[in-house]
C-alpha cells in the first residue's frame, strides 16, 4: 500500500509526444525507416491476402455436410461426397506423429540441455537434428518407404505374400514425427535453458537427485515451451503433403488392413486434408476445385487455431519468473 502511494506521488505525469520525431533524423535514417514500413506492411498484406482469399473461397464452398461424408467416386462434384476421411486422417496422423515426437523430442532436449555427455555424441545429435530439420520432407518420405517396405516392419502395413506395401498411417506418422521432432527439441531446450542454473542447484541443494529435479522442477517450468514446440510440430505435421502422398498411399478413403479395430486403421492407408487438396486441386487428378477450396479452408482454420493457442500459451508462460 505504501508503495502504491509512493508510486502515484513520485511518478512524473505521463508526457505525450515524448518519443522523438523521425522528422529530425538524417535522410538516410528516414529512408531506412520508410523501407522497414513498406516491407512490414507488404508482408502483412501478403499474409492477409492469402487468408482472406482462402476464407472467401472456402466459405463459398464449405458445407457442414462435407465434414461428415466420405469421399466417393462420382461424375460431378455434387456426387463425390465430402472429406470426412481426410479429416479423420489428419487427426490420426497428427496424434500418431506427436505420440512419437513428443516423448522423444523432450527426452533428447533434456539430454542435450541437462546432461550433454558424452560431449561428442551430444554435438553429433545436435547437428543431426538440425540436419533433419533442413531435410525436405519428400526426401524423408522416400527414406520412409525404403524402411517400411522391409519385411522386418511388415506388421506395420499391408502385406500380400512376401511383398510389404510399406504405406500406412504408422509409416506416415513415424516419418512425420521426424518433421515435428526438431521443433519440439528446439523449443524444449530453449525453455530449459531459460531456467537459471541456481534453480537447478536449489533443488540439488536440498538433496534431490538430478532426475527428480528434471521431473518435478525443470520440465514443469519448461512446460509452456514444450507445449509451444508441440503445437508448432502439429502444425507442420498436418500441413505436410509429401510424406502423406508417398507414405499414406493417398487413397482418399480410409482403407483398413486386417480386422483388429484400431490397428487395422493404423496399418491401412488413407488421406489427409493436404493430400485431399492436392488430389482435388485444379492441377490434380480429381480436379474438383470447390472441394479443394473447402478442404483448404478447414485446414487453414485448424492451423490458425493452433497458432492462436501457441500465442496464448506463450503469453501465459511469461507470468512470474526468477531473476537471473
**CB closer to another protein out of 13 and 207:** 207
Kindly state the number of chain residues that form the binding site for another protein, as judged by CB under 8 A: 25
Task: List the one residue from 35, 39, 41, 212 that touches another protein (CB under 8 A).
Answer: 212
Task: List the one residue from 208, 284, 309, 314 that touches another protein (CB under 8 A).
Answer: 208
Which stretch, 80-88, 193-201, 233-241, 250-258, contacts another protein (CB under 8 A)?
Answer: 193-201
Task: List the one residue from 132, 147, 202, 314 that touches another protein (CB under 8 A).
Answer: 202
Interacting residues of 213 by C-beta distance below 8 A, sequence separation 6+ = 200, 203, 204
Judged by CB under 8 A, does residue 196 bind another protein?
yes
The whole-angstrom separation of Cα 279 and Cα 42 is: 31
Judged by CB under 8 A, does residue 120 bind another protein?
no
Judged by CB under 8 A, does residue 211 bind another protein?
yes
**CB closer to another protein out of 191 and 270:** 191
Q: Least Å distance between CB 209 and another protein?
A: 6
Judged by CB under 8 A, does residue 162 bind another protein?
no
Distances (CA, A) of 268 to 149, 255, 260, 298: 14, 5, 11, 24
Q: Least Å distance between CB 289 and another protein?
A: 50
Task: List the one residue from 60, 198, 315, 316 that touches another protein (CB under 8 A).
Answer: 198
The whole-angstrom separation of Cα 272 and Cα 251 is: 9
**CB closer to another protein out of 16 and 324:** 324
In DSSP terms, 81 is beta-bridged to 71
The whole-angstrom separation of Cα 210 and Cα 201 is: 10
Q: Least Å distance between CB 195 and another protein?
A: 9
Question: For residue 255, which phi and psi values (nearest 5 degrees)?
Answer: -130, 90
Q: Least Å distance between CB 313 and another protein?
A: 15
Interacting residues of 192 by C-beta distance below 8 A, sequence separation 6+ = 109, 110, 113, 114, 218, 222, 225
Which stretch, 62-70, 213-221, 268-276, 294-302, contacts another protein (CB under 8 A)?
Answer: 213-221
The whole-angstrom separation of Cα 268 and Cα 156 is: 9
Distances (CA, A) of 304 to 51, 120, 235, 271: 10, 40, 9, 21
Which stretch, 63-71, 77-85, 216-224, 230-238, contacts another protein (CB under 8 A)?
Answer: 216-224
Q: Where are the alpha helices (DSSP H) in 168-272?
A: 169-193, 197-204, 210-213, 219-221, 223-239, 242-247, 261-267
Helix (H) or strand (E) holding 93: helix 84-110
The whole-angstrom separation of Cα 49 and Cα 315 is: 27
Judged by CB under 8 A, does residue 204 bind another protein?
yes
Interacting residues of 256 by C-beta distance below 8 A, sequence separation 6+ = 264, 265, 267, 268
Cis status, amide bond into 118, omega within 30 of 0? yes
CB-CB neighbours of 214 under 10 Å: 20
Which stretch, 166-174, 230-238, 250-258, 314-322, contacts another protein (CB under 8 A)?
Answer: 314-322
Task: List the one residue from 201, 260, 305, 308 that touches another protein (CB under 8 A).
Answer: 201
Judged by CB under 8 A, does residue 5 bind another protein?
no
Q: Least Å distance between CB 83 and another protein?
A: 43
Judged by CB under 8 A, does residue 122 bind another protein?
no
Judged by CB under 8 A, does residue 130 bind another protein?
no
Which residues ranging from 58 to 117 are in contact with another protein (CB under 8 A)?
none
The binding site for another protein (CB under 8 A) comprises: 196, 198-199, 201-209, 211-212, 215-217, 220-221, 319-324
Amino acid at each position: 500500500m505504501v508503495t502504491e502511494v509512493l508510486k502515484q506521488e513520485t511518478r512524473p505525469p505521463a508526457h505525450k509526444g515524448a518519443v522523438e520525431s523521425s522528422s529530425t533524423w538524417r535522410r538516410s535514417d528516414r529512408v531506412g525507416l520508410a523501407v522497414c514500413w513498406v516491407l512490414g506492411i507488404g508482408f502483412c498484406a501478403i499474409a492477409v491476402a492469402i487468408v482472406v482469399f482462402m476464407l472467401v473461397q472456402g466459405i463459398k464452398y464449405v458445407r457442414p455436410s462435407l465434414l461428415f461424408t466420405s469421399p466417393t467416386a462420382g461424375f460431378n462434384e455434387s456426387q463425390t461426397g465430402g472429406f470426412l476421411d481426410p479429416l479423420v486422417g489428419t487427426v490420426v496422423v497428427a496424434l500418431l506423429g506427436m505420440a512419437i515426437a513428443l516423448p522423444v523430442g523432450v527426452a533428447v532436449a533434456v539430454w542435450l540441455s541437462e546432461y550433454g555427455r558424452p560431449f561428442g555424441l551430444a554435438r553429433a545429435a545436435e547437428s543431426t537434428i538440425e540436419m533433419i530439420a533442413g531435410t525436405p520432407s519428400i526426401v524423408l518420405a522416400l527414406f520412409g518407404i525404403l524402411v517400411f517396405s522391409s519385411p522386418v516392419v511388415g506388421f506395420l502395413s499391408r502385406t500380400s505374400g512376401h511383398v510389404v506395401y510399406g504405406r500406412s498411417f504408422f509409416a506416415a506418422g513415424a516419418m512425420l514425427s521426424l518433421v515435428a521432432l526438431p521443433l519440439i527439441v528446439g523449443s524444449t531446450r530453449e525453455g530449459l535453458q531459460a531456467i537459471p542454473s541456481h534453480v537447478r542447484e536449489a533443488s540439488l541443494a536440498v538433496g534431490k537427485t538430478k532426475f527428480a529435479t528434471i521431473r518435478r522442477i525443470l520440465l514443469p517450468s519448461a512446460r509452456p515451451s514444450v507445449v509451444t514446440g508441440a503445437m508448432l510440430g502439429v502444425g507442420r505435421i498436418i500441413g505436410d503433403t509429401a510424406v502423406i502422398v508417398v507414405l499414406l498411399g493417398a487413397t482418399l478413403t480410409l482403407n483398413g488392413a486386417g480386422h483388429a479395430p484400431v490397428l487395422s486403421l493404423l496399418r491401412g492407408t488413407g488421406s489427409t486434408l493436404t493430400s485431399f487438396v492436392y488430389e482435388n486441386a485444379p492441377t490434380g487428378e480429381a480436379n474438383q476445385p470447390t472441394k479443394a477450396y473447402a478442404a483448404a479452408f478447414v485446414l487453414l482454420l485448424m492451423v490458425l487455431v493452433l497458432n492462436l493457442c501457441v500465442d496464448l500459451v506463450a503469453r501465459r508462460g511469461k507470468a512470474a519468473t526468477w531473476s537471473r
